[in-house]
Structure 1
């Protein structure tokens, strides 16, 4: 059974490893990845963002971050589920948790950047109400070829 908990420093390495696993499987690790994953507390949490960890029998098997853009707008990023636990709808549970958290905080919008290579992720985003919006020319990741948002 999945339990979702707020980030603690002891999970920093898990957060990094979970994300590096999927990034290296499909893409290359970029500078922005290194910035967020090597120093997640200073690059995400200390800038007003959040990280949550999904635990399965107390083992960290999933994660996501909410990066602060402005007071009421956040970016969903660095969502990952370990290979060994995929297919159990954990990504969907993490996303539902993120949306509920954002609504409880009275945020206005969640955005995300993804890749059209990630069919399963895009399906979950659309299923939970994210809509495709125009992608800026100067996004942070080479792999990002789609931008989506959820108005809360």
Structure 2
């Protein structure tokens, strides 16, 4: 049986990070300009700003990803969660989300939020299951597709 590992982002995963997210966005929405900027340069937009990216791998091959983007005041956005289509149904997204939440707790992060869309019913259900609560969507969200914001106090 192949073992799933969740590892910290490394430059060798940059193309995988971009491809996994682009594939997911193209399937359900479209790749917005903000997405293009972040996905093509995750070190500048996420890592150097105090954020974190985690990759789910099997035998060294990246099959999923999630990011914690540092927004301010010990608040991070849970974002850029994507799983390779062939690996969906293996609960990898759920494992990535739990990993990110546990990481936040261990690193004294007070609050996580996420921007999503209500057409993603299984994802919204999962977020509610782990304790995310719906809050108003601010006008300055960087995502046109966003019609729901949820937060989790750690």
Compute the TM-score of the two structures, normalised by the length of structure 2: 0.96
- Residue number among 141, 144, 151 corresponding to 2:146 in the alignment: 144
For 1:67-121, what per-residue CA distance to the aligned partner results, in whole angstroms no more than 9, with x for missing partners? 0012411001100011000011111100100000000001110000001111121
Q: Moved runs in structure 1, 4+ residues, more than 6 A?
A: none
Does structure 1 residue 77 correspond to structure 2 residue 82?
A: no
User: 1:128 — aligned with what?
Assistant: 130
For 1:45-83, what per-residue CA distance to the aligned partner results, in whole angstroms no more than 9, with x for missing partners? 011111010002221000011000124110011000110
Q: Which whole-Å CA distance do the structure 2 matches of 1:132 and 1:2 have between them?
A: 31
Compute the TM-score of the two structures, normalised by the length of structure 1: 0.97
- Residue number among 31, 38, 41 corresponding to 2:40 in the alignment: 38
How many residues end up aligned between the 2 structures? 152
What is the 5 A alignment of 1:1-152? 1-152=3-154
**Unaligned residue ranges in structure 2 (runs of 5+):** none
Q: Which whole-Å CA distance do the structure 2 matches of 1:110 and 1:123 have between them?
A: 17
